């Protein structure tokens, strides 16, 4: 049961981050479509910043799970947030 709740939290964290990334790219893209913004972010080196902006929705999911006392699901969201932070840091270095 615990592993299932952590896995659900990981999935919710990934989905929330994907939605946040899409919203950030759409709102900050200046009218371009999503793929154009992502390609420009890769070429200009600010993809990590877009991923970090997308992780803001993970904060909302985390606090919803904490409020509902679903601690293991909140742990999964926190885990995926830390993994994305490490990925962003490594991506920024190379």
| 58-82 mean pLDDT | 95
Report the predicted TM-score, pTM, of the whole model to 2 decimal places: 0.87
Confidence band for 17, pLDDT divided at 50, 70 and 90: very high
Residues 6+ apart with CB under 8 A from 82: none
Residue 74, pLDDT score: 97
Domain extent, residue 12, equals 2-93
- 56-67 and 71-93 are packed helices; what angle lies between their axes, rounded to 10 degrees? 160
Place of tokens 């995926």: 80
Instruction: Name the residue among 84, 52, 60, 65 with its Cα closest to residue 8.
Output: 65
Residue 88, pLDDT score: 86
Contact 17, 80 (CB under 8 A): yes
CA distance 48 to 54: 10
The total number of structural domains that make up the chain: 1
């Amino acid at each position: 049961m615990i592993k299932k709740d952590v896995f659900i939290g990981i999935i919710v964290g990934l989905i929330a981050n994907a939605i946040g990334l899409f919203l950030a790219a759409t709102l900050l893209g200046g009218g371009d479509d999503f793929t154009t913004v992502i390609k420009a972010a890769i070429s200009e080196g600010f993809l990590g910043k877009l991923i970090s902006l997308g992780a803001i929705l993970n904060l909302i999911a985390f606090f919803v799970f904490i409020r509902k006392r679903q601690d293991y699901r909140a742990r999964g969201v926190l885990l995926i947030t830390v993994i994305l932070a490490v990925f962003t840091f490594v991506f920024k270095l190379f």
